[in-house]
Amino acid sequence: MSVTTPQGFRAAGVTAGLKASGDSDVALVVNDGPDHHAAAVFTSNRIEAAPVTWSRQVVSDGRADAVILNSGGANALTGAQGFADTHRTAEATADAIGVSAGDVVVCSTGLIGELLPMDRLLSGVTRSVEALDAQGGTAAATAIMTTDTHPKQATVARSGWSVGGMAKGAGMLAPALATMLVVITTDAVVDPTDLEPALHAATEITFDRIDSDGCQSTNDTVLVLASGASGITVDRAELTDALTDCCADLARQLIGDAEGAHHDISIEVRSALSTTEALEVGRAIARNNLFKCAVFGNDPNWGRVLAAVGTTYASFDPAELDVWMNGVQVCRSGGVGEDRAGVDLSGREVQVVVALHAGEAAATIWTNDLTHEYVHENSAYST
């Protein structure tokens, strides 16, 4: 059930003392081959952390031998010193496992704007290499947690090969990735030119469609490593399908563990002119604080749904809009529908459906409610 489920991978998670809590905070995943194919997608935030700048370069040739990850500090907005620290981390990892530093991906997560305590981190690197184990997936998944309440892992089993994944992320979830670090492994034999398009296709309809709080991180990374150790060759379609299943499982876990959330909300936009317009509308609703507060209060305030829709450029006639909440059509043709008192929002899952009557496209965005616990966690994070 982890990144070490596919053959050809070892992993570890150790405590370097980066977190005040004393929990584990350095993770390492090594691809022992025979293949060392890699691809990644990164945050689209224009202010990217040093490890993102580094790792873009590492994977640009399609090869990576390992990924070293730390929680307890994002190493973002840390200038030249921050980049030098990332470089040293990659070198220390590479030296210890006998590969090139240019084939070691680095990921960091935690507070922005502070330098990492390099003595502790480098000692953690050393110990993580010593701890590498073919059963080390869960230890690695645990060491990348920040405000996550539990490690997040997924496995997709296919005939003779598999995909494994781990993820961290519990806030700052927004499209074009969220503060999430994701490492996916597979032992399939793949054409290296298939790996990046397959990963993009998978993330586009999974991680890119969760939007917990509209905030976009400086550090987001989704990395896939392919070892070929199963000896089973798969084509791009099979690979894309398995990666999508794995990403969907992890994305769902991220929403389910978003900071302080009481509800997981799916927002399905139907009969849009295009998928782009459906996504625009879905995101506008997902980012509307008044709507999110209403769901927290178990209040089927559909007016706030449409007030959000009205701020978009999507094609629709206000007099044709329909809204359902948990199956009850609370708005019909832009006016009052069934009695909102009939909507039961007491469960964890909330389904909002909006029909635009402008075309044939549809899309679903996943988000969370806005709660006291969200405010608490995010006002207390760095203090």
Instruction: Give the residue numbers annotated as catalytic, written as ranges.
Output: 179
- Under the binding rule (CB under 8 A), the answer on residue 319 touching a second copy is yes
Which candidate, 160, 150, 154, places its Cα nearest to that of 187? 160
- Residue 63 has what DSSP assignment? B
Q: Answer left, alpha or beta for residue 113, where phi above 0 means left and psi between -120 and 50 means alpha.
A: left
Whole-Å CA distances, 304 to 29, 287, 350: 45, 11, 15
Q: Are 230 and 160 in contact (CB under 8 A)?
A: yes
Q: Per CB under 8 A, does 326 bind a second copy?
A: no
Instruction: Of 359, 357, 301, 296, give the one whose Cα is nearest residue 325.
Output: 301
**Distance of alpha carbon 173 from alpha carbon 251, whole angstroms:** 10
E strands of 169-218, at which residues? 181-186
Q: How many residues does the chain have?
A: 383
Among 111, 134, 157, 237, binds a second copy (CB under 8 A): 111
- Residue 285 CA, chain-centre distance (Å), reads 20
DSSP character for 209? Answer: G
C-beta of residue 265 within 8 angstroms of C-beta of residue 364: no
Given a contact cutoff of 8 angstroms between Cβ atoms, the answer to whether 300 and 346 are in contact is: no
| Residue 292 marked as a ligand binder | no
Nearest approach in angstroms of CB 346 to a second copy is 13
Residue 378 marked ligand-binding: yes
Which of 59/323 has CB closer to a second copy?
323
Nearer CB in complex with a second copy: 35/48: 48
Q: Round to the nearest angstrom and report the end-to-end CA distance of the chain.
A: 35
| C-alpha neighbours within 13 Å on the C-beta side of residue 327 | 4
Nearer to a second copy, 98 or 341 (CB): 341
218 scored as a contact of a second copy (CB under 8 A):
yes
Binding-site member from 21, 57, 149, 289 for a second copy (CB under 8 A): 289
Residue 109 marked ligand-binding: no
Among 46, 98, 159, 346, binds a second copy (CB under 8 A): 46
Which letter does DSSP use for residue 194 in this model?
H
**Shortest gap between Cβ of 313 and a second copy (angstroms)?**
9
- 45 near a second copy (CB under 8 A): yes
| Residue 168 annotated as lining a ligand binding site | yes
Q: Return the number of the residue (32 or 114) whose C-beta is nearest a second copy.
A: 114
Residue 77 binds a second copy, judged by CB under 8 A: yes
* Candidate residues 100, 150, 290, 349; the one interacting with a second copy per rule CB under 8 A: 290
Compare residues 77 and 248 and give the one whose CB is closer to a second copy: 77
Q: How far is it, in rounded angstroms, from Cα 232 to Cα 219? A: 33
Minimum gap (Å) between residue 144 Cβ and a second copy: 19
Q: Of 17, 117, 192, 334, which one interacts with a second copy (CB under 8 A)?
A: 334
Asked whether position 57 contacts a second copy by CB under 8 A, the answer is no
- Selected from 34, 310, 342, 347, the binder of a second copy by CB under 8 A is 310
Contacts to a second copy by CB under 8 A: 45-48, 74, 76-82, 111-115, 171-172, 213-218, 287-290, 293-294, 296-299, 301-304, 306-312, 318-319, 321, 330-331, 333-336, 340, 370-372, 374-383
